[in-house]
């Protein structure tokens, strides 16, 4: 049974990539009877103990081609927080007592809105927004979508760890977002750079799952997974806007990898029960959206899947040469699919050149697995250091 399960997960990405290429890219059309309008986006930035890294993000949002927006910087546990703009669309929110959590910061922003927006867009403080980000989101809203995930792209490729982190992001953008959206299912949410209709986002914050965590004063590290569960459970499709670019800072050293992956692994296992429910729901209802979404939700972390496959292959070396050949073949398809997605995504040359460093990245993910209990009591925030504005970033990308 374990052999079949591991082989399925190894080959599944290759199969869905082929199916998505055969189907072709989805076209974006204005929904029937819909009136195209310039929707109001409330951009919420959640900063913790480090607000100044968000100032370039605010600048990039103020320079959007779509100007019907408001910006809320929640500076949680930040001393002497200040803005470098007098634009009335920007509001600095400094909670009187530390909130110590992203979900609480998002709720604090909603409690202090200047006006009720049409959509909420969530940003991490290290993000930068491409000038047409909100314009593209607006096009998807006018096409009838109520939840849209943008494309997170590396802000820095300065170390082998950053390149390895970017490799994972490129793979996930294609396999977990572009492919399911093309096949009529939902893209997974990345944690930032997503636009959600206001009432859906507010319902998510008031959901029993979130309120239960808050009532118990537990650390919530899987808020993005809880959000996507709340959206998809009613049959709603999360669109993927692959031209809506959000630049995201990648980890630069081994310590950052371990902290970040500890949080991510804890989030995966924290949400695994809900993911299995979605998978069963999709099977019983024969709902393509929920079925594919459920498979991607339960899909194991890549390094765990690869280790499981290699361990089984080692056992098969002494037990069954037939299974050994099958397992080696599936591992080859899995590795080839990763390289294929990098090619299809036009991955930067720096990413290709740094592939040799992936084993070091995986080693720190293993360390993260042994530290997973730490995430129960610590949000494990990542220190951000790449303070660069949108002009400098785009100029660098041209070279």
Q: Is the pTM value of this prediction over 0.75?
A: yes
Q: What is the pLDDT of residues 34-73, one digit of tens each?
A: 667 899 999 999 998 888 889 999 999 999 999 999 999 9
pLDDT at residue 380, as a whole number: 47
Q: Which domains does the chain have, with CATH numbers?
A: 2-25+35-398 (3.90.550.10)
Q: Given this model, what pLDDT does residue 279 score? A: 80
Asked if the model's pLDDT at residue 381 lies above 90, the reply is: no
pLDDT of residue 374: 57
Mean pLDDT for 332-357 is 92
Residue 76 above 70 pLDDT? Answer: yes
pLDDT of 198-208, one tens digit each? 999 999 999 88
Residue 397: pLDDT above 90?
A: no
The pLDDT tens digits for 278-309 are 788 778 877 777 888 888 888 888 888 888 89
**Percent of the chain clearing pLDDT 70 (strictly above):** 87
Given a cut of 70, whether residue 367 has pLDDT beyond it is no
pLDDT for 9 equals: 94
For residue range 174-202, what is the model confidence (pLDDT) as tens digits? Answer: 999 999 999 989 999 988 999 999 999 99
Candidate ranges 80-84, 263-267, 324-328, 354-358; pick with highest mean pLDDT: 324-328
**Complete edge-to-edge strand list for the sheet that includes strand 119-123:** 90-93, 69-76, 41-48, 119-123, 194-197, 147-154, 239-248, 128-129
How many angstroms separate the CA atoms of 129 and 319, rounded?
Answer: 53
Dihedral, CA atoms, 55, 56, 62, 66, nearest 10 degrees?
A: -130
Phi first, then psi, for residue 108 (nearest 5°) are: -65, -40
CA dist., res. 398 & res. 354, Å (int): 20
Helix (H, G, I), strand (E, B) or coil at 291: helix
Q: Which tokens hold the place of 320?
A: 């069954």
Average pLDDT, the chain: 86
Contacts of 395 (CB under 8 A, 6+ apart): none
**145, 158, 154: which is closest to 194 by C-alpha?**
145
Provide the token pair at 291.
């079925």
* Residue 347 binned pLDDT confidence (cut-offs 50, 70, 90): very high
The pLDDT tens digits of the residues spanning 6-18 come to: 999 999 999 999 9
Question: Comparing 244 with 397, which gets the higher pLDDT?
Answer: 244
Name the pLDDT band for 396 (thresholds 50, 70, 90): low
Residue 1 clears pLDDT 90, i.e. is over it: no
Range with lowest mean pLDDT among 57-61, 240-244, 258-262: 258-262
pLDDT > 90: percent of the chain: 47
In the predicted structure, residue 316 carries a pLDDT above the cut 80:
yes
In tens, the pLDDT along 210-232 reads 888 788 777 777 788 889 888 88
DSSP bridge pairs for 247: 128, 153
pLDDT at 366 (0 to 100): 63
């Amino acid at each position: 049974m374990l052999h079949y399960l591991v082989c399925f997960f190894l080959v599944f990405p290759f199969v869905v990539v082929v199916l998505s290429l055969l189907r072709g890219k989805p076209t974006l059309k204005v929904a029937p009877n819909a009136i195209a309008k310039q929707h109001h986006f409330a951009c919420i930035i959640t900063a913790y103990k480090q607000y100044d890294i968000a100032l370039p993000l605010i600048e990039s949002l103020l320079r959007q081609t779509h100007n019907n927006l408001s910006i809320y910087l929640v500076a949680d546990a930040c001393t002497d927080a200040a803005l470098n703009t007098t634009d009335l669309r920007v509001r600095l929110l400094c909670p009187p007592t530390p909130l110590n959590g992203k979900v609480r910061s998002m709720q604090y922003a909603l409690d202090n809105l200047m006006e009720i927006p049409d959509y909420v867009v969530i940003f991490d403080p290290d993000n930068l927004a491409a000038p047409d980000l909100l314009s593209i989101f607006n096009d998807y809203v006018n096409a009838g979508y109520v939840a849209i995930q943008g494309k997170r792209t590396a802000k820095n490729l300065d170390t082998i760890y950053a390149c390895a982190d970017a490799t994972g992001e490129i793979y996930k953008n294609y396999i977990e977002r572009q492919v399911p959206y093309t096949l009529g299912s939902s893209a997974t949410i990345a944690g930032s750079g997503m636009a959600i209709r206001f009432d859906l986002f507010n319902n998510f914050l008031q959901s029993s799952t979130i309120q239960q965590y808050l009532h118990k004063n537990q650390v919530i590290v899987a808020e993005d997974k809880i959000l996507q569960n709340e959206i998809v459970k009613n049959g709603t499709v999360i669109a993927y806007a692959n031209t809506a670019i959000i630049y995201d800072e990648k980890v630069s050293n081994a310590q950052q990898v371990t902290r970040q992956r500890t949080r991510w692994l804890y989030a995966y296992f924290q949400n695994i029960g809900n993911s299995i429910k979605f998978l069963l729901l999709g099977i019983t209802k024969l709902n393509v959206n929920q079925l594919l979404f459920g498979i991607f939700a339960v899909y194991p972390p890549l390094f765990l899947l690869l280790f499981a496959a290699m361990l089984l292959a080692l056992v098969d070396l002494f037990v069954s040469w037939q299974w050994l050949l099958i397992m080696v073949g599936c591992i080859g398809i899995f590795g080839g699919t990763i390289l294929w997605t990098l090619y299809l995504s036009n991955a930067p040359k720096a990413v290709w050149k740094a592939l040799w460093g992936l084993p070091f990245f995986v080693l720190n993910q293993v360390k993260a697995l042994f530290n997973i209990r730490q995430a129960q009591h610590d949000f494990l925030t990542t220190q951000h250091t790449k303070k660069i504005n949108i002009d400098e970033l785009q100029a660098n990308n041209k070279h």
